[in-house]
Homo-oligomer: A and B are copies of this chain.
């Protein structure tokens, strides 16, 4: 167990949860140039960018609202009993600086940021941002070998291009990632896919490269436990990235997103699938597409950070099991 008081979140008994400068989960803010960076094990990072959004924008505001609501999170997982901030040293690494008016420049800025994070030996847990943010993260994390991926979403994000040839949007990141060798398609599982479709080009591609898609009707029929057992099997013991699009969840529970699809999982299932990641060899994770303009009340962001906390608990257990917490 880490015993470094610097990395302990502010308690609600010392300062009420609604008060104080809001960092992720009330952790210390440690910028990339801060000398304490070397001691960080898990870095919570904001990616305030939605330049790949083809429909209704807003996820660029996600990190701020997620930070705000994350101050409602306490020290211990009520069900598993994990106390992640005692198990590993976590910090808020701040936001990646995007260039809102230049997509290609931002992809480079983000890749450079995460390359530094990886070089520091820090496992990144990212709050998006739209789903295109995941591409530069994968470029930084998977430069040298492909990763597996467990992907919660209502969309595959596997399209070839939009608007007559535009290759980089929030609907294409995983097509690019497969093409670039960042993902091993046989170790990729996509869960919750639903909604009306343009066509079947994305799903045809998935089949052709070996990506496993579990559509929503199968999810509802089999239930979270069974589905997650399969997903863990697909990911195997290799290094795996977890990408969680908030629109995986039904919009009654998570209205704050730009491309909702009705008929999805409820909040209990949304947490449960994250808890059932236990045992996966996670090397990075994200929660993307929270769009505050569509949910001023912050309910979506609160559910989002609750999912992040579940993922963080699994990550903390995994790191502890690896014996690398000190």
A19 contact set on B, CB distance < 8 A: 46, 48, 60, 63-64, 95, 97-98
User: From residue A172, how far is it (CB to closest CB) to chain B in Å?
Assistant: 9
* Residues A263 and B255 in contact, CB atoms below 8 Å apart: no
A16-B100, A51-B101, A101-B51 known; A21 and B271 CB under 8 Å?
Answer: no
Q: Which chain B residue has the least Cβ–Cβ distance from A76?
A: B197
- In the bound assembly, the distance between CA atoms of A185 and B18 in angstroms comes to 33
Q: Is A263's CB under 8 angstroms from B252's CB? A: no
Which listed residue, B75, B163, B164, touches A197 by the CB 8 Å rule?
A: B75
Chain B hits for A268, CB < 8 A = 216, 220, 250, 262-264
- A318 at interface, CB cutoff 8 A: no
- A16: chain B residues within 8 A (beta carbon): 48, 54-55, 60, 97-98, 100
Q: How far is the CB of A214 from chain B (nearest CB, A)?
A: 13
Mark out the residues of chain A between 95 and 145 whose CB falls within 8 Å of any chain B CB in the assembled complex: 95, 97-103, 105
A181 at the interface (CB under 8 A from B): no
Chain B's nearest CB lies how many Å from the CB of A65?
Answer: 9
Known: A199-B75, A297-B255. A21 touches B55 (CB 8 A): no
Chain B residues positioned under 8 Å from A18 (CB to CB): 48, 55-56, 60-61, 64
The residue of chain B having its C-beta at the shortest distance from the C-beta of A251 within the complex is B299
Residues of chain B within 8 A of A72, CB atoms compared: 55, 259
B101 touches A166 (CB 8 A): yes
User: Assuming A48-B19, A57-B58, A162-B101, is B198 touching A74 (CB within 8 A)?
Assistant: yes
Q: Which residues of chain B are within 8 angstroms of A21 by Cβ–Cβ distance?
A: 21-23, 29, 67, 92, 94-95
**Binary CB contact string for chain A from 62 to 88 against chain B (1 if under 8 A, 0 otherwise):** 011001100011111111000000000
Given contact pairs A11-B198, A76-B199, A79-B217, enumerate 17 new A-B contacts (beta carbons under 8 Å): A12-B198, A19-B97, A20-B64, A21-B22, A21-B23, A54-B101, A55-B72, A58-B293, A68-B68, A75-B197, A76-B196, A77-B196, A79-B194, A216-B268, A262-B271, A293-B294, A295-B297
